[in-house]
Structure 1
Amino acid sequence: MSALTFPQSDTSRRIGDAERAAILADPGFGTHFTDFMAHARWSEASGWSEDEIVPFGPITLSPASAVLHYGQEIFEGMKAFRHDDGSVWTFRPEQNARRMQRSAARLALPELPVEDFLASITALVRADEPWVPAPTGETSLYLRPFMYASEPFLGVRASHAVDYLVIASPAGAYFPRGVQPLVVWVTDAFARAGAGGTGSAKCGGNYASSLLAKYEAGEQGADEVMFLDSETHTFIDELSGMNVFAITEDQRILTPQLTGSILEGVTRASILQLAEDRGLTPVEERLAYDRVCEDLRAGRITEMFACGTAAVINPIGEFRDRHGSVRVGDGGSGETTLSLREELTGIQYGRLEDRYGWMTRLV
């Protein structure tokens, strides 16, 4: 049984029906927010308590809060999907809950029980149900659970007070161009994470460290940046917020192994399952970037793509680095890549059978 239930006392809506409908017609990504948010507090003395659904709005934070000085925070990313019958579902939420626990352990934050994580998601989506877009295209309600050190204290130690929230945002396509082949810049000037660091945790510092590299990529005319390992700058790590896959001519699907510097993506794990079930051989290993480029030029690697909750699966059409560029296949969207994407989104939106039991009904 969940210890937290996230009751809702204030049911008044912040945005009217007409304004909400206009937003849902063209939601963009991450620019609009729903009427409510879930909130709970943790203290060293009392544990988790004060759970509630409250109106979305500013939070009160002391200038001395530990998160502002020592970066002790983590987050997750999920989606809620409207099905044709009007019901609302989410995808493998227990995996997000467990990953958040692993992130919390790495950042010396309290671990929120899986049941309480699921209760917060369910309560918020039920309160914000009118915000879940109709099942047209690939719109969804993006969910952002996050946790931060809120104790007003200056000193390098784990915070004795923590706040947990879930906010929601109606979402369309992550990339402005939609599902089109990405041009990816491979940086050798920056690294995403080092051995023993926080690379496998979903924390803001990892993303902050990618921003300058993404700017570098933009200067090179690229859509995204790919990082190599910090020790040798030889092996593929991941993109700024997505895992990487390659498909070979002999029907293998390759992805960098989880070495502690790569985020264990929920979408990544799901793709490995879908690929194996359709006859591809999953291979998780350290992928040397130079070898990948050789295999691309020789046609031994025929497709590559990036994946994550926000973008789902997006083809990669070209890599650029300071030595030149290499095209992936014909530079377009690979057939297997798009087929995997169609299968995964089909399960998420209820268009295909959920034979894995991945979907959880919220409303």
Structure 2
Amino acid sequence: MSKTVDIDWGKLGFSYMKVGLRYISKWSNGSWDEGKLVEDNTLAISEASTALHYGQQCFEGMKAYRTKEGKIQLFRPDRNAARLNDSCRRVLMPEIPEEKFIDACIQLVKANAEYVPPYGSGATLYLRPFVIGVGDNLGVRPAPEFIFSIFAVPVGPYFKGGMVPVNFITSDFDRAAPYGTGAAKVGGNYAGSLMPHKVAVDKGFADCIYLDPATHTKIEEVGAANFFGITKDNKFVTPKSPSILPSITKYSLLHVAKEYLGLEVEERDVLVDNLDEFKEAGACGTAAVITPIGGIEHKGKFHVFHSETEVGPVTKKLYETLCGIQFGDVEAPEGWIVEVK
């Protein structure tokens, strides 16, 4: 069992902290180099890099967890590798071989094992893999060189006082175009979300809900997370659209709902005018796993699901089961867990 640094894990938020080492690999002349761990947390890149001017970049978010036995494990890193490569293809960047990606994650976590929070703290080691276009370039074209890097940051439990439902409001802004980059995890999607998020927060909501860009009648995403609802006849329902980011947490919850909780599951349109079909609702993603939704305001009408103050029983069970898998307390489906040895 590796030792941990002296940090008040309970007071950690979701903010940057420089830890010992990070991984970096460079692509030029048609191939990636071997990659290495470095101490420097700054990047020196050309002022003409495509990442700076044309948004040629993408990233991932994932975590390392410490089990009750003191082991360290990654949760479905192959899915992060696959999604990163989907994003790379979309913006014409070289793919990262899955074996290289997972090996880089393992190297990084092993090198920073002392920063993996202890079991029971609710905290985790967050990993941020990213790929950026660099090198001297002026025209709108793919970069001549690329950097693939991963850094790690210990982050605190998302719900410090326990899970509490929060409220959302639908937005008139679009997160992504119908045939745009919505399914890719690229920075431009997030830059465009900053204003809608601020508008929602200024109105007293946790974040906004994006509707489908073509008709504004169907729920697509909840801020930077995916939506799900539990129908009154106990179906787990989540929106299906080519402009939604394919959340690894969402697809894991689809499996957990069906195989562990025995629920029917559906990926389909979720009409914003039909919210009363759901007895519970939530947003899901890497940071919080699940954020319970108390209510949604749409065109001046506020719809409450299970409760604005208490988490619904199905949502709670989904959360406990998936967290149990991630922290090693519940048996995981085959291939979901990679131990860092």
| Same fold, judged at TM 0.5 (above) | yes
1:34 to 19, 27, 34: 19
1:178-202 Cα deviation digits (max 9, x unpaired):
52101111112x0001111000001
1:229-262 Cα deviation digits (max 9, x unpaired):
11111111101211000101111111101x2210
1:73 to 31, 39, 57: 57
1:35-92 Cα deviation digits (max 9, x unpaired):
110000011x141005100114211122111111000000000000011221100100
1:60 to 30, 44, 49: 44
Q: 1:83·1:349 contact (CA, 8 Å) conserved in 2? A: yes
Match of 2:258? 276
1:99-129 Cα deviation digits (max 9, x unpaired):
1110100011100000000011000001000
Match of 2:312? 334
Match of 1:354? 332
For the residues of structure 1 that align with 2:231 and 2:299, how far apart are their CA atoms? 25
Matched, 1:129 2:113: yes
Q: After the TM superposition, which of the residue ranges 91-100 and 271-280 deviates more from structure 2?
A: 271-280
Match of 1:305? 282
For the residues of structure 2 that align with 1:330 and 1:132, how far apart are their CA atoms? 35
Identity of aligned residues (%): 37
Q: Which amino acid aligns with 1:320?
A: E
For the residues of structure 2 that align with 1:144 and 1:355, how far apart are their CA atoms? 24
Q: 1:207·1:240 contact (CA, 8 Å) conserved in 2? A: no
How far is the alpha carbon of 1:322 from its aligned partner?
3.6
For the residues of structure 2 that align with 1:342 and 1:29, how far apart are their CA atoms? 21
Change (3 A) 1:346 1:276: same
Matched, 1:241 2:241: no
Q: What are the residue-to-residue correspondences of 1:253-272 with 2, within 5 Å? A: 253-257=236-240, 259-272=241-254
How far is the alpha carbon of 1:280 from its aligned partner?
1.0
For the residues of structure 1 that align with 2:160 and 2:273, how far apart are their CA atoms? 30
Q: 2:10·2:123 contact (CA, 8 Å) conserved in 1? A: no
Match of 1:4? none
Q: What are the residue-to-residue correspondences of 1:123-202 with 2, within 5 Å? A: 123-174=107-158, 179-188=163-172, 190-202=173-185
For the residues of structure 2 that align with 1:155 and 1:284, how far apart are their CA atoms? 41
Q: CA RMSD in A?
A: 1.6
Q: 2:10·2:156 contact (CA, 8 Å) conserved in 1? A: no
Q: 1:271·1:340 contact (CA, 8 Å) conserved in 2? A: yes
Q: 1:38·1:167 contact (CA, 8 Å) conserved in 2? A: yes
Secondary structure of the corresponding residue to residue 242 of structure 2: coil
Match of 2:93? 109
Change (3 A) 1:141 1:109: same
The size of the alignment, in residue pairs, is 337
Unaligned runs of 5+ in 2: none
How far is the alpha carbon of 1:269 from its aligned partner?
0.5
1:321 to 298, 302, 307: 298
Unaligned runs of 5+ in 1: 1-16
For the residues of structure 1 that align with 2:80 and 2:166, how far apart are their CA atoms? 26
How far is the alpha carbon of 1:341 from its aligned partner?
0.3
How far is the alpha carbon of 1:312 from its aligned partner?
0.4
Change (3 A) 1:346 1:46: same
Q: After the TM superposition, which of the residue ranges 169-178 and 55-64 deviates more from structure 2?
A: 169-178
Q: 2:134·2:146 contact (CA, 8 Å) conserved in 1? A: yes
Q: After the TM superposition, which of the residue ranges 62-71 and 92-101 deviates more from structure 2?
A: 62-71
How far is the alpha carbon of 1:134 from its aligned partner?
0.2
Q: Which amino acid aligns with 1:129?
A: A
For the residues of structure 2 that align with 1:48 and 1:218, how far apart are their CA atoms? 42
How far is the alpha carbon of 1:24 from its aligned partner?
3.7
TM-score between both structures, scaled by the size of structure 1: 0.89
In the TM superposition, structure 1's runs of 4+ consecutive aligned residues that sit over 4 Å from their partners are 175-178
Secondary structure of the corresponding residue to residue 137 of structure 1: coil
Matched, 1:226 2:209: yes
Match of 2:78? 94
Change (3 A) 1:175 1:109: farther
TM-score between both structures, scaled by the size of structure 2: 0.95
For the residues of structure 2 that align with 1:353 and 1:95, how far apart are their CA atoms? 19
Secondary structure of the corresponding residue to residue 33 of structure 2: strand
Q: What are the residue-to-residue correspondences of 1:281-296 with 2, within 5 Å? A: 281-292=264-275, 295=276
